[in-house]
Amino acid sequence: MNFPVRAISLDLDDTLWPFAPIGDRIERTLHDWFVAHSPVTAEHFPIEEMRALRERVFAEFPQHAHDLGLLRRLTIERALRESGSDPTLASAAHAIFFRERNRVDFYPDAPDALRRIAARVPVAALSNGNADLVEIGIAPLFRFQLGAREYGSAKPDPGIFLEACRRLAVAPHEVLHVGDHPEMDVAGAIGAGLRSCWIDRGDHQWPEALPPADLHFTTLTALADWLDDGHPHQEQAA
């Protein structure tokens, strides 16, 4: 399939790097920090209990579902308060979270492919997560980063896709959104009038009711090849 692509909006978590190892490391590192700096909190909220507390906080504040960093901060504050610890420790604990959140291990194909793609068309980061491209070290490859927290709503809301198109100054039908999630990325992009590319990392089954993405690849390298090739081979969507 060939169609014009004047810009790309790109998902981050589970597209450029897997998030699960990051989440596990955040939990372990925060727990170790509480053991050292607030033992009573570590005792009251071991990893499993802290995870359950985070889920309760997320459910309690659905109006902040688009701001995962804030919800993490609220969870830390709640843990300190309910364990009877010093609430002023929240800032230092959240800094630990932020540091670990931005230690990423890229998929092997991602760094080189991202450089190739960014050399060909403007790329905008479009994410529901709270990764910081400056901290990660890849900000120069992107025109800008637009997150759900900044926009005020998360994918698949069509508005966040259209805001990315507006900032790119490119019509939606000439923007290709690239991501791993069938609903959040592909269905969201289709609903906003963008072209769509599913990077199938093997984490999601394709929903039967969802129309296929315009492009379906298992690596970002395949997308870079498609952009370089005027008549690329396209994998068929599941």
SS3 124: strand
pTM (predicted TM-score): 0.89
> Would you say residue 154 has pLDDT above 90?
yes
191 residue type, one letter: G
pLDDT at 224: 97
pLDDT at 232: 42
pLDDT in tens, 195-205: 999 999 988 88
Spell out the residues 6+ positions from residue 110 whose beta carbon is closer than 8 angstroms to its own.
Answer: 15, 16, 17, 220
pLDDT at 203: 87
- For residue 55, give the H/E element and its range: helix 47-60
* Cα–Cα distance measured from residue 198 to residue 30, given in angstroms and rounded to the nearest whole number: 33
CATH architecture of 20-101: Up-down Bundle (1.20)
Mean pLDDT of 56-70: 91
Q: Are 166 and 191 in contact (CB under 8 A)?
A: no
Q: Where along the chain do the CATH 3.40.50.1000 domains lie?
A: 7-17+105-228
Q: Where along the chain do the CATH 1.20.120.1600 domains lie?
A: 20-101
pLDDT in tens, 94-152: 999 999 999 999 999 999 999 999 999 999 999 999 999 999 999 999 999 999 999 99
Highest mean pLDDT among 1-5, 155-159, 204-208: 155-159
Q: Is the dihedral of CA 170, 166, 134, 23 positive or negative?
A: negative
In this structure, the strands spanning 175-179 and 7-10 are parallel
CATH number for 7-17+105-228 (one of 3.10.290.10, 1.10.760.10, 3.40.50.1000, 3.40.50.300): it is 3.40.50.1000
